[in-house]
Amino acid sequence: MKDYRTLETAARNAQTTVATLIEFGTAGWIDVISKDGRTFVSSQDEYRSRFILHLRNKLGLSAKQIGVVLAGVKAPFSLEQVAEILGRVRSN
């Protein structure tokens, strides 16, 4: 069973904004769930959000590149896999 937390708590834990997490949900990178007027994200998706933020902010990847990486990597996420995944896409 997944552990859920409010979007506000997840954003604070990931050191980002609620709007950013909603953006990730809109992109299909995480699942944002609404119930009884409140919005939640699973702890797994909070972890995934931290990885996405690292890809975006530290590695400077575009949304398209992030989508490619997320399609090719499963938890636990590893930065070592990023270059390999992007390299496979470039070589096709």
Per residue of the chain (92 residues), what is the pLDDT tens digit? 579 999 999 999 999 999 999 999 999 999 999 999 999 999 999 999 999 999 999 999 999 999 988 887 776 667 777 777 777 766 55
pLDDT of res. 41: 96
Surface-to-core class of residue 23, CB atoms within 10 Å of its CB (0-12 exposed, 13-18 middle, 19+ buried)? middle
Cα→Cα distances 4→14, 22, 28, 51, Å = 14, 15, 18, 18
Tokens encoding 22: 């909603």
Helix pair angle (18-26, 7-14), 10° resolution: 100
**Topology given in CATH for the domain delimited by 4-91:** Multidrug-efflux Transporter Regulator; Chain: A; Domain 2 (1.10.1660)
Q: Please report the pLDDT score of residue 24 as a whole number.
A: 97
